[in-house]
Structure 1
Amino acid sequence: MYRGRLTRDLAIWVDKGMIPSATAEALLKELDSRKSSFSVGGVLMIIAAVLIAASILLLVAANWQDIPRLTKVFGIILLIWIFYLSAALAFSRGADRFGAALLVLGAASFGGAIALIGQLYHLSGDTLDAMLLWFAMTVASAAAFRSAALTVFAGFLAFVVFGTYLEQYEAEWRGIYAFWPPVAGLVLAVLAQWSGAERSRHLIYILLLSWCVWLYSLRADLAVALLFVVVGMLAFLAVALPQSPVSALARRRGASPAFYSFVLTSLGLGLLHFHWTEGGELALLALLTIGTTLLALSLEGRDNGAVRYLAYVIFAAEVLYLSFVTINSMLGTSAFFLLAGLVVAALAFVVVKLEKLFARKDGEVAR
């Protein structure tokens, strides 16, 4: 997505004579040379690794009864070593994409080995412990090889662990296991920083949002929904306001921090609609929702496309929702829309003035 936009912008700048075509080509080559840049070949290599892993498992399953027990154990262990040593050899020769695919095969084989040995020797423990061991070894492997592919694989395993916990304990709160998503998120954040897998941070945000949804499902409490709104909005302001001390650091991570904090705020506002369903409470909630979208647009609407489109969707959804919900009467609904329109107009006026003020200050700093 970013490369496409950059390519279009460079073409416009070249046509206008702002930069020579050689510079544009050099910029695109530099972008493509980055490890985090998208590569069709790399994606196809990972898909091939997943398909080969599936074929190996099916081949073993088809001849399961005819394979001696020790052969099964030594075979799967040998397979793991072959994949990891081959990956190390591939990295040493500069075949990074092939090495990443081999690492994925090795990690998948390790998960199969856990299940195989547990089944053959009837080892004590449960599925959750096995998944935690698989996640831990994948994280260790990703750290040892500084592999972005294994970091992403570990991110998906974090979801598997969380899903296993919910299934095993019937989505109830059970001690320290209930804190798995934030703990896994912290581990993955450190691992992503170490391996350079910036895109894997999306998995961390989604995992934490899933945890928030589960927390709300435990009690469906109004206070939890309000907490999501407050925490999400504070986080959004912290990363979006130029005066915030963490704004510069957050912007180095791209659009994700502002977008996902706004998602958390929107999640809380959406859940509040199940509690405040009529009268003054609904009117207040509607104004709060519309005001939140306008604030998000004023702070991040220009530079953050994800926040901008999400704000559009929420604004439209809120207006449609209010159209189908009568606030005391049709006259009351009309009055509400009139009041909301006046508030939006006033906010637009304030935003325009603030933008001019910020632009003037930026110009003075630049001089």
Structure 2
Amino acid sequence: MAISFGVRKHIARWQQDGLIDDAVADRLRKDIDNRGSGFGLGGILALLGAVLLGAAIISLVAANWEAMPRLFRVGLIMAVLFIGYVGGAWRESRGDKVFSQALYLTAAITFGAGIALVGQMYHLSGEASDAALLWVAGTMVAALFLRAPVLVSASVAISGFYLFCSLEPANSERLSYLWLVPILAFICAGLVWYTKGKAARHLIALLSITYVFVVRFDLDRVGILWLAAIAGGALFLADALRNRALERLTGWAEAIGAYGFIMLLLALIFFQFDEFSEGVANQVVIGFAILGCSIAGLALSGHRNLAVRWSAYTVFSLEVLYLAFETIGTMIGTASFFLSAGILVLLLAAFVMRMERRLQRKSPKSEVTA
């Protein structure tokens, strides 16, 4: 893995500089070897190949669908499912952690395509969201029995597909997603715990954030933004102020704090551009609140939480430039604005560099953990 290679370079440098002795360096290298999952570039390419293979199977079957006998069509889908799930289980039993996941993913994609193709073949009526629900249910069952992390990630992705299918105006029960998506996310969270599928946790967090703002636009209620801001701020403060307790409870404290911080900032940004779009004064007020939250994020957990740190830097810089454009930029000429913007960017760079020095002094281990 590229990450392991980078860590090995740091270990060699620390050993050469005398920061660690030979025994510690050997133990660190041995720990990297023992913990290495082998899921590097090769694993990513294997999963990409599985997606492309699934798409090829779908395209091939769909292009020749009418020319095939019905029994052969169903048999072909079942054969691919059997090869994907049983073959993946066989490869995993042999210690293969890469191609087994690729076979599982191919079977999951084929299952979704099979639902659509069989429904077309037998002229079954129904909404796309109903097919997505059946797809995610089947994938969850497969993830449960096979204990496959990649199938948990696929279940979360299909849940997101269901969310957007439910937004179609023609859907007769379109608002059922309001309670079904949280249930799907909760089940996926249970599967994450059961399968130890750590990557799916990030997808669940992204699905949750997407769900909040989709509901905001769909129902057009400002209270949802307030709830999102409060929930995001609470999650961020839980990590910032009670990091050890949250880590013991969830084992994922820094990521929870980072996603909560991002949700808080996104809610404030939506307030700025949506709820208070009439008049510059309101936007400036919300802008200062965004700047304040960014600085608070840096002060409270920026010294140890890289995601919070760089989210705060990014939002702070963009917000300062936006406020400058909305206030100063409307009153001066183009050349003067570019001059002011250039000076402002240099000042932002000086601010970031100074903050980096302060944060690194506050946390001497930050360079090692980064």
TM-score, normalization by structure 1: 0.80
The residue type equivalent to 1:246 in the other structure is L
What's the counterpart of residue 23 of structure 1? Answer: 27
d(CA) in 1 for partners of 2:105, 2:290: 43
In structure 1, give the amino acid aligned to 2:44: V
CA distance in 2, matches of 1:243, 1:28: 26
Deviations 1:38-64 (A, max 9, x none): 322222222222222222223323333
Corresponding residue for residue 340 of structure 1:
none
Does the 8 Å contact 1:226/1:272 carry over to 2?
Answer: no
Partner amino acid, structure 1, of 2:52: L
TM-superposed CA distance for 1:169, in Å, is 4.7
Deviations 1:151-170 (A, max 9, x none): 12212111111121113557
1:190 aligns with: 190
1:297 is aligned with what amino acid?
Answer: L
Residue 85 (str. 1) matches residue 89 (str. 2): no
Q: Structure 1 residue 225: deviation in Å?
A: 2.7
Q: Quote the sequence identity (%).
A: 31
Contact 1:88–1:99 (CA under 8 A) maintained in structure 2: yes
Q: How does 1:61-140 map to 2 (within 5 A)?
A: 61-140=62-141
CA distance in 2, matches of 1:242, 1:62: 57
Residues 44 and 247 of structure 1: is their aligned pair in 2 closer, same or farther, counting only changes over 3 Å? closer
Distance 1:218 1:161, change over 3 A: closer
Equivalent runs, 1:167-206 vs 2, <5 Å: 167=168, 169=170, 174-206=174-206
Matched with 1:258 is 257
Report the secondary structure of 1:213's partner residue. helix
- 1:219/1:126 CA distance change after superposition, 3 Å: closer
C-alpha contact (below 8 Å) 1:73/1:116 kept by paired residues: no
1:337 alignment counterpart: none
Structural mapping, 1:333-344, within 5 Å:
none
User: 5 Å matches for 1:290-329?
Assistant: 290-326=291-327
Q: Aligned equivalents of 2:132 and 2:57: distance in 1?
A: 20
Looking at structure 1, the residues matched to 252 and 79 of structure 2 have their Cα atoms a distance apart, in angstroms, of: 40
Alignment correspondent of 1:363: none
Question: Whole-Å Cα distance in 2 between the matches of residues 97 and 215 of structure 1?
Answer: 37
Structure 1 counterpart of 2:227: 227
2:173, 2:304 → 1: CA distance?
A: 40
Point out the more displaced range, 214-223 or 182-191.
214-223
CA distance in 2, matches of 1:283, 1:43: 44
| Residue deviations 1:179-236 (CA, integer Å, cap 9, x gap) | 3332221111111111111111111111111111112213544433333222211121
Matches of 1:57 and 1:179, distance apart in 2: 31
In structure 1, stretches of 5+ residues that fail to align are 331-344, 360-367
Cα separation, 1, equivalents of 2:95 and 2:327: 65
Report how far residue 177 of structure 1 moved. Answer: 2.2
Q: CA deviation at 1:67?
A: 1.2
Contact 1:227/1:268 (8 A) holds in 2 = no
The AA in structure 1 aligned to 2:70 is R
In structure 2, distance between residues paired with 1:93 and 1:42: 16
Contact 2:233-2:260 within 8 A present in 1 as well: yes
CA distance in 1, matches of 2:322, 2:75: 61
C-alpha change, 1:168 and 1:198, in structure 2 (3 Å) is farther
Match of 1:364 in 2: none
Count, aligned residues:
333
Distance 1:45 1:127, change over 3 A: same
**Cα–Cα, structure 1 residues 243 and 40, in superposed 2: closer, same or farther, change >3 Å?**
closer
| Per-residue CA distance 1:314-335 (angstroms, 9 max, x = gap) | 11122222212339x98xxxxx
- Aligned 8 A contact 1:139 1:150 in 2: yes
